Structure 1
């Protein structure tokens, strides 16, 4: 039995609406400020640097804390006031989660299934087998979790999160620290899950969003800078991104003259990307923009002219 068979009676995926959500912690840190997002079924990327407010928003959606103000609706369910209803249809893989190192994967997943309310032994056995096969852990089901690699533990965490057929699946920084092969396996797994649920991928890794997500938002310092479909966001920068390979000591002067999106080392020199509607000067050549250019142009506040067309194009009335 596979997960699609287990889900044969599942309801269509629910959309998620977040309106004017703010959160300030007791230490005075303003983690979220008037965050509003519309998240449809499928893979949704929440992209931002460490400390941007991503985990705060994910914990709020997972009913682990309440916002100071604002409203969160999963379909017709009020996330703040109907926590138990949300938890019945929620799967959550936090950035860090613990496992019992001496427990075997099959046994521990069975235990979590009981906690999730799967009391029928035959159904529970079929469910755990389907999830372990889906996460490519069936051959390692009798291995102790203490011997799992980082990627295997992440996939086991997804198996736990999928118990109960969640309509909302939240994964927080899931590929951080994974080797390239494990990252590919994990991303392939997430792409399959996005076909049946709302899957929110919270990450600072641009490539994860570029490869997986049909819609995304960029967040920094607790504020949403951009909400868009990645291809449309990239297309809006077409013809406005230029590059030049420079000596590092000239960077400060160029920063004063141009709107620099990003700068990185390349063969001992510095490669800069600049936002400009026209060629910014001699030595610059046009470059095809990518999602990394979108990301850094949003983070640097690189001209409201760059951001506003993206927002107008992608945000509905």
Structure 2
């Protein structure tokens, strides 16, 4: 009987760099098997947490557990079941995908030639690179290189797969192909998708957390988080020059250009004033509400209403 995949527990993890930057502040998360989104702006602490989970650096304090494995004190055990696709990684441009994947398979401990050939073929087919397996990696597109990175990360059937900002810089077609690949990977392991792109999490993840300035602002299921904002997001189309005055009056969580004007989204439990209409919330509203500090009150009010108080 196949052992069920283990979840990941992060308890009170903090990290301060030598330059004085406090990258993580007492971070705690419970990450079940499946696709998990870690969402936050650039510099929020996402990559610091991913590097710590990948045993590339140690936390100053706290505990990280993958099933029975203590990540900090059993690094070799964790690395045997880890797949890691960092934000930036290099390839040997003159090597083919088949050659380099075979080389990495040896490093992963797959020394039997037949088993290695079967493994590399299966992974290249899974990542839709089999037809390009003889092509030099220097001629691969950005999306093809990312898919090759996933093939390398999947060697050894890891229990923990970390992908850090995987769709940054991909064109729309490559992004769709890459997300389709990731969506297939969450059945047998913990897959952490670290990104600042809200749409990636919305399309892929059944659980998520939002991080900013090294602190967890929200941990929730995306659909439940969106539901918590029902009736609390309002929109209005304004001229750009009216934005500063409106910011003084209302809790604006986002503003973006639309047909030469500015579309603002406001967080408010009640209709905020003339000209505003109710907006159907989405995960982008959840993200900006959390960054603005609005989400805690929304959850509290929802819980109060559910309790009939």
Task: Supply the distance in 2 between the matched residues of 1:310 and 1:166 (Cα, whole angstroms).
Answer: 38
Please say which of residues 251-260 and 110-119 is displaced more in the overlay. Answer: 251-260
Alignment equivalent of 1:105, drawn from 74, 81, 97: 97
Offset, 1:250: 1.2
Per-residue Cα deviation, 1:65-117 (whole angstroms, up to 9, x for no partner): 00000000000110000000000000000000000000000010000000000
TM-score, length of structure 1 as denominator length? 0.94
Per-residue Cα deviation, 1:138-192 (whole angstroms, up to 9, x for no partner): 0000000000000000000000000011000000000000011110111011010
Offset, 1:11: 3.3
Alignment equivalent of 1:192, drawn from 184, 188, 198: 184
Task: Supply the distance in 2 between the matched residues of 1:301 and 1:251 (Cα, whole angstroms).
Answer: 20
Offset, 1:307: 5.0
Mapped contact 1:18–1:36 kept (Cα < 8 A): yes
Please say which of residues 274-283 and 298-307 is displaced more in the overlay. Answer: 298-307
Residue of structure 2 equivalent to 1:31: 23
Task: Supply the distance in 1 between the matched residues of 2:177 and 2:284 (Cα, whole angstroms).
Answer: 22
Aligned pair in 2 of structure 1 residues 68, 311: CA closer, same or farther (>3 Å)?
farther
Task: Supply the distance in 1 between the matched residues of 2:61 and 2:222 (Cα, whole angstroms).
Answer: 29
Mapped contact 1:21–1:33 kept (Cα < 8 A): yes
Specify the SS of the correspondent of 1:245: strand
Task: Supply the distance in 2 between the matched residues of 1:307 and 1:261 (Cα, whole angstroms).
Answer: 17
Residue of structure 1 equivalent to 2:239: 247
Per-residue Cα deviation, 1:187-224 (whole angstroms, up to 9, x for no partner): 01101001111000000000000000000000000000
Offset, 1:252: 1.1
Structure 2 unmatched ranges of 5 or more: 305-309
Aligned length: 304
Per-residue Cα deviation, 1:276-313 (whole angstroms, up to 9, x for no partner): 1111000000010000000000111126312556899x
Equivalent residues in 2 for 1:39-188 (5 A)? 39-188=31-180
Mapped contact 1:226–1:310 kept (Cα < 8 A): no
TM-score, length of structure 2 as denominator length? 0.96
Per-residue Cα deviation, 1:28-83 (whole angstroms, up to 9, x for no partner): 00000000000000000000000000000000000000000000000011000000
Task: Supply the distance in 2 between the matched residues of 1:51 and 1:10 (Cα, whole angstroms).
Answer: 39
Task: Supply the distance in 1 between the matched residues of 2:196 and 2:299 (Cα, whole angstroms).
Answer: 19
Cα RMSD (Å) of the superposition? 1.4
Task: Supply the distance in 2 between the matched residues of 1:82 and 1:95 (Cα, whole angstroms).
Answer: 24
Mapped contact 2:236–2:277 kept (Cα < 8 A): yes
Specify the SS of the correspondent of 2:184: helix
Task: Supply the distance in 2 between the matched residues of 1:222 and 1:176 (Cα, whole angstroms).
Answer: 21
Alignment equivalent of 1:304, drawn from 274, 293, 296: 296
Structure 1 unmatched ranges of 5 or more: 1-8, 313-317
Residue of structure 1 equivalent to 2:307: none
Mapped contact 1:226–1:307 kept (Cα < 8 A): no
Per-residue Cα deviation, 1:229-249 (whole angstroms, up to 9, x for no partner): 000000000001000001111
